[in-house]
């Protein structure tokens, strides 16, 4: 056998070896001493479906990323002493519910106010879907549906029954196994053009002792700009003192989470490790989650001990690999 043949065999064996290696967190030290990170294989799940790939920006730790240059300006615009508010709890109308789609559910036509920015396909809405705020609610009235057989997420904003069908503000369909972002400048069921489910606090994951993703949150005033991974704006405020949609914040490492009760402590730890992503205009420092009778409302209310001044904005630009993808750069400095 000649050297060329041996080289081909060696290359094939090397490729097989690489493909068979388990995907896990790896660290390598660069000449400058920074740490490089590859996302862990196991990301958040909803039933048998991934809530976006493990290497998606939502599912990536940011506790070692640099502080954003305008961090203090953002905190000042919020109000340094403003408290965190968990916008979910034990009540069915407190939070954003998520409904697994029953087998055999037929797709329905939804008429959208922002049809040009929505995914205009049939939405498999069950006969009695859970709606944010309840059937008579006057808020954002989100409907979140998961087709676990195909790992497809449907999200609808401002959903209202209209005769035998539905009317809504906007809606999107998300492949839960994909890192693809919305087209640029297009909204979703959320102002920032991001999916909602990846940022919701869910009791099932908290009960494992950890939350492994960033948390969705809102502010009453946002900048008329967005940063990756956001795709859309919802403001006319041009001052850079306000945080843009998509901006990520984290709880400062100096904050003592041990002073919080168990459920609040897990959430606060996630805010340190994964942070929170500004996704919409709304209440100041409102964290989004799924209503569940197993929550301890008393525990959750203790999150109000966390103030805006306990956070800092994060510069996660090094994580961006491609502008239209939520996949993180394996060489991005994260921890």
Angle (nearest 5°) at CA 47 between 99 and 91 = 40
In the predicted model, what is the mean pLDDT of residues 263-277?
Answer: 99
Structure tokens at 46: 């909803």
| Residue 17, Cβ density class (10 Å: 0-12 exposed, 13-18 middle, ≥19 buried) | exposed
Angle (nearest 5°) at CA 219 between 77 and 72 = 30
Cβ(259)–Cβ(193) below 8 Å: no
Per-domain residue ranges of the chain? 71-319
In the predicted model, what is the mean pLDDT of residues 44-62?
Answer: 98
Distance, CA of 331 to CA of 208 (rounded, Å): 29
Task: Indicate the pLDDT class of residue 41, thresholds 50, 70 and 90.
Answer: low
Angle (nearest 5°) at CA 94 between 326 and 303 = 75
Q: Residue 95 has what pLDDT? A: 98
Q: Residue 167 has what pLDDT? A: 98
Q: Residue 42 has what pLDDT? A: 80
Task: Indicate the pLDDT class of residue 333, thresholds 50, 70 and 90.
Answer: low
At 170-225, the pLDDT tens digits run 999 999 999 999 999 999 999 999 999 999 999 999 999 999 999 999 999 999 99
At 152-165, the pLDDT tens digits run 999 999 999 998 89
Helices H, strands E: what count in the chain?
A: 5, 19
Residues 6+ apart with CB under 8 A from 19: none
Beta strand pairing status for 160-162 and 248-251? unpaired
pTM of the model: 0.87
At 171-183, the pLDDT tens digits run 999 999 999 999 9
In the predicted model, is pLDDT for residue 327 greater than 90? Answer: yes
Q: Residue 332 has what pLDDT? A: 75
State residue 97 phi and psi, 5-degree precision.
-75, 155
In three-state secondary structure terms, 157 is: strand
In the predicted model, is pLDDT for residue 23 greater than 60? Answer: no
DSSP for 233-253 reads ----B--TTSPEET-EEEE-T
């Amino acid at each position: 056998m000649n050297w060329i043949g041996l080289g081909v065999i060696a290359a094939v064996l090397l490729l097989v070896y690489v493909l068979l290696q388990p995907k896990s967190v790896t660290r390598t030290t660069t000449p400058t001493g920074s740490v490089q990170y590859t996302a862990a294989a196991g990301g958040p799940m909803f039933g048998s479906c991934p809530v976006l790939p493990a290497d998606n920006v939502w599912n990536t730790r940011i506790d070692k990323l640099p502080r954003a240059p305008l961090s203090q300006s953002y905190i000042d615009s919020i109000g340094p002493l403003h408290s965190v508010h968990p916008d979910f709890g034990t009540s069915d109308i407190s939070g954003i519910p998520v409904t697994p789609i029953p087998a055999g559910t037929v797709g329905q036509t939804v008429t959208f106010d922002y049809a040009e920015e929505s995914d205009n396909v049939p939405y498999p809405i069950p006969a009695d879907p859970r709606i944010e705020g309840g059937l008579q609610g006057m808020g954002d009235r989100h409907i979140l549906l998961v087709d676990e057989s195909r790992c497809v997420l449907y999200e609808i904003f401002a959903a209202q029954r209209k005769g035998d069908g539905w009317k809504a503000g906007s809606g999107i369909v998300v492949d839960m196994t994909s890192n693809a972002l919305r087209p640029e400048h297009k909204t979703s069921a959320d102002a920032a053009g991001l999916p909602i489910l990846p940022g919701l606090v869910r009791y099932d994951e908290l009960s494992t002792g950890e939350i492994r993703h960033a948390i969705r949150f809102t502010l009453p005033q946002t900048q008329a700009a967005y940063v990756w991974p956001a795709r859309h704006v919802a403001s006319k405020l041009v001052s850079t003192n306000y945080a843009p949609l998509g901006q990520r914040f984290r709880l400062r490492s100096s904050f003592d989470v041990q002073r919080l009760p168990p459920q609040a402590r897990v959430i606060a730890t996630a805010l340190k490790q994964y942070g929170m992503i500004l996704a919409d205009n709304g209440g100041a420092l409102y964290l989004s989650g799924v209503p569940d009778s197993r929550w301890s409302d008393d525990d959750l209310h203790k999150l109000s001990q966390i103030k805006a001044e306990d956070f800092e904005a994060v510069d996660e630009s090094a994580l961006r690999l491609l502008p239209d993808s939520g996949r993180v750069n394996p060489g991005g400095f994260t921890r």
